[in-house]
Amino acid sequence: MKLIHKIGGKLYVNPDGLEWKRSKWIKPIQVYLKYSEKKMAENADLIISDNQGIEDYLKAEYDHVTSKVIAYGTNDVVMAPGVAQPWLDKYGIQVGAYYLVVGRFVPENNYEVIIRNFMNSSTTHDLVIITNHLGDPYFEKLRQLTNFDQDKRIKFVGTVYDKEQLTAIRKHAFAYIHGHAVGGTNPGLLEAMSVTDLNLVFDVSFNRNVALDSALFWQIDTLTEVMSQAEMLKVEAIEGLAKKAKKITIIILFAQVFLFLIFIDLFCMNKQSIYKNTNKNPSTFVNGFSGAGGGGRTRTVSLPTDFESVTSANSITPANQLFYYISIFCKNQEKYYNFVIFP
């Protein structure tokens, strides 16, 4: 930290999630990870949280935390027709007649809860679980705990690494069940929201901050009931939820934006040489592009006054979000800047 500040740098940290809570770590490692989180909160000039729930947790847990929420998202979906049909036929799965679970095979993703609730339901749909369960001791433990092998509706199908095929499998599901209990914004949930019409989401703050009002939420003892509610929904209601989910999904690659901002900040140590305050009105962001003759072109982009809530600013394009992210990395975060790209 001292060396970074000595050369005029800033330390920006993206904590990703609450790693110390993951059950895969033994206690000593969890203690170390919690200590590392504490030191991060104390020393970072800016913490970039990918979820409002992460920021809320950090500010409640530690004093004097400076954080900005920059949500990441997923790409537009392009899917060839019929790409999933051979895969579905292989496992005897019918289009639109299965609940889908996709995720790492770890206890905090609530596999036991999902399976128990599903087995208690009277649904005629299958439960299709795409995960890396082969050779994992947790698979045998889960079988002993739930006897899921006695329920022919439950199908562990291994992993699917073909992105187009996985997208098609998501698309053809009746509903996606998201059980992740630890972490921030989960890419799997965003992917489901972009293609699966109906999403049943475990009710924790991280997931609520992503899905908002586009999903049905469940708790440990209510998933069976929520499944029954889902199967009674009219087509119009499901289509409405799907539309909300797709609107919420922010189509922007967080990693590229994050790296771009770091490069901008490191390259432009003197912000006055590249940023020029042109408008103090936070509802308008002006950016100019200089031409070879030094004239430059300028356009004005209208932004909502409360543009901090980027996860709900659904009318804003990724390009406009990018310019906003540039602005928050300037030392004076209350203003917006004229961004000039030199030829």
Q: What is the pLDDT of residue 1?
A: 66
Which burial class, exposed, middle or buried, applies to 119 when counting CB atoms under 10 A from its CB (0-12, 13-18, 19+)? Answer: middle
Q: Tell me what the mean pLDDT of segment 104-125 comes to.
A: 96
Q: Is pLDDT at 39 greater than 90 in this prediction?
A: no
Beta strand 284-289 pairing with 297-302: antiparallel
For 164-177, what is each residue's pLDDT tens digit? 999 999 999 999 99
Kindly report the pTM of this predicted structure: 0.62
93 compared with 292, residue with greater pLDDT: 93
Q: Is 265 helix (H, G, I), strand (E, B) or coil?
A: helix
Can you count the helices (H) and strands (E) in the chain? 13, 13
CB 189 within 8 A of CB 101: no
pLDDT 10s digits, 134-165: 999 999 999 999 999 999 999 999 999 998 99
Q: How far apart are CA 34 and CA 51, in angstroms?
A: 19
